[in-house]
Structure 1
Amino acid sequence: MATIYLKQNDTHTPIRATLRDPEGEPVPLVGAVVGFYMSKNGSNIVAREADILDAAGGRVIFNFQEGETSETGTLQAEFKVNFSDGTVETFPNNGYLTIIIDKELSSVPISIDIINGGTFLDPDFSTEYNGGVF
């Protein structure tokens, strides 16, 4: 099962998924409505509609909104498809997506300048920034 890692209160990175049948083929989502559900210890944190990126190819995306990633710890998630014929299927149908939200170090915004190429403009702070690795 997939594990997704986030930091508390981050909303920029969406969850993208291709929903597949037991044979590994994409599930057609034409006319369907897809919900995304995320919970911790049995309490719903998120329960709302996901967007369909490619109905024929079974591709969906879920963009977090403010407040939906404020709960830290290990959470379970799933996509639930309501097909146009009235049937329902949940993905994954065995277990859950695991979402681990780590506590942010500070909730106070800071301001630093970064230029392309990776060097902080502050001359007293000479650490290079290379795509997230210091």
Structure 2
Amino acid sequence: MLKFTIKRGDTSPALRFALLPDRVSLAGAMVRFQMRARSGATVIDRPAQIETVFAPAVVVHRWTSAETDEAGRFEAEFRVTYLDGSVETFPNLGFIEVFVIEDVPGLPG
């Protein structure tokens, strides 16, 4: 299971994820990044960027400051809709664990 950590309010680094197996092709596909709080409430559901189409296909989520404004532990995934309309979610087993860590309180950010 992939673990990704970012500080509260930060927008970098982006979350990059290589889709496995290597034979996955994103030619003509659409990808969404979806993230929920551990409680189950969806906090993000929006299009992701395709960085490389194949060998291996890599998708990217670029954060907005609103998406990291609350510290906590989250579960995320990338949902691919292929050109033929079929859907596949990555990772196939489990989630990407996202940790938004508190920053130093009271300091300008």
TM-score, normalised with respect to structure 1: 0.75
**Contact 1:74/1:99, CA 8 A, preserved across alignment:** yes
Alignment of 1:8-27 (within 5 A): 8-21=8-21, 25-27=22-24
Aligned match of 2:44: 46
Q: Which runs of 4+ in 1 moved over 4 A?
A: none
2:32 pairs with one of 8, 14, 35: 35
**Contact 2:6/2:12, CA 8 A, preserved across alignment:** no
Query: Identity across aligned pairs (percent)?
Result: 34
Structure 1 runs not aligned, ≥5 long: 111-134
> Aligned to 1:75, what secondary structure does the other structure show?
strand
Structure 1 residue 26, shift from structure 2 partner: 4.2
User: How far apart, in 2, do the equivalents of 1:12 and 1:102 lie?
Assistant: 13
Higher share in strand: 2
> Aligned to 2:67, what secondary structure does the other structure show?
coil
Alignment of 1:1-134 (within 5 A): 1-21=1-21, 25-40=22-37, 41-57=39-55, 58-106=57-105, 108-109=107-108
User: How far apart, in 1, do the equivalents of 2:8 and 2:2 lie?
Assistant: 19
Bigger-Rg structure (1/2) = 1
RMSD: 1.3
Task: Report how many residues are paired.
Answer: 107
Structure 2 runs not aligned, ≥5 long: none
> Aligned to 1:10, what secondary structure does the other structure show?
coil
TM-score, normalised with respect to structure 2: 0.91
Q: Which has the higher contact order (CA 8 A, sep 6+)?
A: 2
